[in-house]
A and B are shown apart, each in its own frame.
Chain A
Amino acid sequence: MSSPIVKLVAQRIALGLLLLLAVSVLIFAGTQILPGDVAQSILGQSATPEALANLRAELGLNDPAWVRYFKWLGGVLTGDLGTALSSGQDIATSIRGRLWNTLFLAFAAAVVAVPLAILLGLLAVRYRNGPVDKIISGLALASTSLPEFFIGYLLVFFFAVKLQWFPGISTVYDGMPFLDRLKAIALPATALTLVVLAHMMRMTRAAILNVMQSAYIETAELKGLSPFDVIRKHAFPNAIAPIVNVVMLNLAFLIVGVVVVEVIFVYPGMGQYLVDHVAKRDVPVVQAVGLIFAAVYIGLNIVADIAAIIANPRLRHPK
């Protein structure tokens, strides 16, 4: 690997870290703006002024904001996310199970959605402008146009209430057998797949079609390759950068954007956890979850950037 590419990748990562730092400032500032006083929300309506003052001192709420910010950042960097104000539990411990659940659901949806989207995209290109292309695009667009909660309720109505094939609520817990777990998440994973499918499929189709205009595709056709081989061997590898980009964007959505689906299917993931704690003004938890979401988002985007750099021959082989 040549040095310019290493430099580029290093630059990307450094930029990402800088961005994450900036986001941490934003998150901290945002939670300070939230209406309501933390000490007041913990103690509730029956709080006496003395108890309020004690708790404020205990939580360090009397320090200036920037001191609290650096204290918090220092804790995060050493792996200490603090303790939840509402339940007194260690945040890192309670988040671990939730994060794992969210990742599991996202992963299951991605395992189905990504290959399916790319395959459908390839098929759409192979039979472009024909009925197959039209049907694939039409169905995918239709499923994307429906809001995810509507798709969720439709799935629940048909597969949980009418046919009773899958449970309508996706309760999962530690020590649940793997197959039971898969069955429990079947409906939310399907809903998520339908939501992200069209975007990836359409981008795959567009990116490959773009490449198909090139002269070397014509050469490949002229030397007698079958249409599918042309796409697979010549068009697809050169269209990988935009495809990876859109795939990463959708993976990020699967992890950070599933709050609605989690609520509909009562799935114990990060989204529900975040919502509960926002309502309770549990600022340390909100900050921690916000930071994790930001890190996932930025991380996946860095991966997409790096993949694009590596996949680009001009960057790999600089003159």
Chain B
Amino acid sequence: MKQQLDYLGTLAAQGRISRREFLGRAAALGAGAALANTVLASAVRAEGPVKGGIIRAGLQGGESTNSLDPALNLSQVMFSFGKQWGEFLNRLTPDGGLENLIAEEIGSSADAKTWTIKVRDGIEFHNGKTVTAEDVSATLQRHADEKSQSGALGILKGISGIKASGKEVIVTLTDADADFPYLMADYHLVIQPNGGRDDPNAGISAGPYKVTVNEPGVRHGGERFANYWQGDKLGHADQVEIVVINDATARLAALQGGQVQLINRVEPKVVGLVKRVPGVSIEATSGRGFYPFNMFCDTAPFDSNDLRMALKLAMDREEMLDKILLGYGTVGNDFPINDAYPGFPASIEQRKFDPEKAAEYYKKSGHSGSILLRTSDVAFPGAVDAAQLYQQSCAKAGITIEIKREPGDGYWSEVWNKQPFSLSYWGGRATQAQMYATALASTADWNDTRFKRPDFDKMLQAVRGELDQDKRKALYHDMGMMVRDEGGMIVPFFNQFIDAVATDKVTGWVANPQGEQMDGYALAACWLSNA
């Protein structure tokens, strides 16, 4: 039966019999609908990408205040759209490695202080101009300039010089950084003609789609760029469109009604229902994002490590994961790294809920009275419930938590990184060193736990300059331990991206832990099954 079924599946995938006919004949063979659909999906995939048609995604995270300037890309919609029209030096692969794009090769000097980016030949911008080393260096220079207000400014701070020479761009760093190629994969660093200096909002790069529609907060669209340099890999549909749908229910309705084929941010509580919708599959991917409870290590009463330890031990992670994320995630261990990072120190012991020990530490800290925890729905979905759950598990250790629900409006400017104990979220970074540098280095703007330790900074600097893998691993282990035992971050769990795909219409989805929507590449990498 299997052979006949496979044969029929191939016929259907090639369009020689209709989908309906296939399902009918499969049923005659005694195959259930689920098996038949699986066979058809794999047959379609095996046929390879089909060109043509329009793929649409309904995404949360777009506002009428968005602009096309890649330096200002912050929202999920602009992140995804940037991957459609933009081309990058390189990108992260699902297994955490790097795939070179415009860069043919990124090589370093022995001390990891001078990096040479070799620019690939024959890549064309949407305006017909060829991509040169000058364009690459101008792009990096623009993003490294304070005035551009680029979101990539933080990761480019360590650069002391950028210059183009022939087909190469030579970047010199003030301090050694073995992870430099990973930094280049940042989603802000869209390579643009003359670095986008002439008009940062022009939306011209060398990606698989040319920008045709740009209505911030409403929709963004592109048509296939005929001269895209690797058109066999990306850019299968003739057109792509992103419709901004910030309302979760509307997003799901649009997917069910067939107006869009991909959506992001399915709420965990409706995942069970969505799974029952025919032709739709849920793609839950573990990423690097996590939802921390942040304590300021330099502000009373959190300046006592005993109190911080008590609060960490009073967190019931399993229950939290179960009730807030409904299992769509993994438990955290009070440092911002999980196994999605290359070189994750797996030997660090998992911290468990231990009310007795928490009570001991609490007594030792000498603190009395209630502790104020600030939360809001915008911190992460379910943040208010998470705070209440935490309040109860703390009560078991004799610690009184007072919850203050802050208005979502202004939470990121007035509460996060301003108040000593609050809930937040982090999206994760490409490498461990980058994550630590962004969130835990003494000088980091976003050091939202006020963790200021010269010994930690020293280890961070050492790991960045270290090219020996074993030594790096040992350093990462020590850094993880220090943050876990002495830091101000309680990490109950790492979340998953939950996307939904209309698998009866779209093929080619590959799970990618680097970001939601296949790290933004879903529209360009998927194709319509019967275009």
A residues apposed to B, CB below 8 Å:
35-37, 40-41, 43-46, 84, 86-88, 94, 98, 153, 156-157, 160-161, 164, 167-169, 171, 173, 263-266, 268, 272-273, 276-282
Contact = CB atoms under 8 A, between A and B. Distances in A.
Contacts of A160: 253-254, 256-257
B469 interface: no
Contacts of A35: 407, 409-410, 414
Given A35-B410, A168-B259, 10 more contacts: A43-B149, A45-B412, A45-B417, A160-B257, A266-B243, A266-B245, A266-B246, A268-B217, A276-B63, A277-B65
B67 interface: yes
A264 B243 CA distance: 14
A51 B259 CA distance: 44
Given A36-B410, A36-B414, A164-B257, A173 B219 contact: yes
A168 B153 contact: no
Contacts of A171: 218-219, 243
Q: Is the interface of A mostly helix, strand, loop or mixed?
A: loop
B259 A94 contact: no
Contacts, number: 105
Contacts of A268: 64, 215, 217-218
A84 B259 contact: no
Nearest to A156: B253
Interface in B474-501: none
A173 B220 CA distance: 11
A96 B321 CA distance: 46
A169 B218 contact: no
A276 B247 contact: no
Contacts of A37: 413
Nearest to B74: A44
B225 to A, nearest CB: 22
A45 B253 CA distance: 36
B213 interface: yes
Contacts of A156: 249-250, 253, 257
B52 interface: no
A147 B257 CA distance: 23
21 contacts: A35-B414, A36-B414, A44-B149, A45-B413, A87-B64, A153-B249, A156-B250, A157-B253, A160-B254, A160-B257, A161-B256, A168-B259, A169-B259, A263-B246, A264-B249, A264-B250, A266-B254, A268-B217, A273-B64, A277-B65, A280-B63
Contacts of B410: 35-36, 281
A59 to B, nearest CB: 15
Contacts of B407: 35
Which 6 A-B pairs give the minimum distances between C-beta atoms? A86-B65, A168-B253, A268-B218, A160-B257, A276-B63, A168-B257
Interface centre among B218, B254, B413, by most A CB within 10 Å?
A: B218
Contacts of A46: 153-154, 445-446
Interface centre among B67, B215, B257, B413, by most A CB within 10 Å?
A: B257
A3 to B, nearest CB: 48
Interface in B213-255: 213, 215-219, 243-247, 249-250, 253-254
A138 B149 CA distance: 58
Contact of B409 (A161, A164, A279): A279
Contacts of B216: 87
A173 B259 contact: no
Contact of A41 (B154, B253, B413): B413
A290 to B, nearest CB: 16
Nearest to B253: A168
A265 B257 CA distance: 13
A263 B258 CA distance: 19
B341 to A, nearest CB: 24
Contacts of B65: 84, 86-87, 276-277, 280, 282
A169 B250 contact: yes
A157 B273 CA distance: 14
B253 A169 contact: yes
A44 B413 CA distance: 8
B254 A168 contact: yes
B108 interface: no
A288 to B, nearest CB: 13
Interface centre among A41, A266, A268, A278, by most B CB within 10 Å?
A: A266
Nearest to B56: A171
A281 B65 CA distance: 11
Nearest to A46: B445
Nearest to A153: B249
Contacts of A167: 254, 257, 259
Given A169-B58, A273-B64, A266 B213 contact: no
B212 to A, nearest CB: 11
Nearest to B154: A46
B218 A173 contact: yes
A265 B250 contact: yes
Contacts of A153: 249
B401 to A, nearest CB: 24
Contacts of B258: 164
A40 B217 CA distance: 23
Nearest to B249: A153
A265 B246 CA distance: 10
B400 interface: no
Contacts of A94: 64
A263 B243 CA distance: 13
A265 B256 CA distance: 14
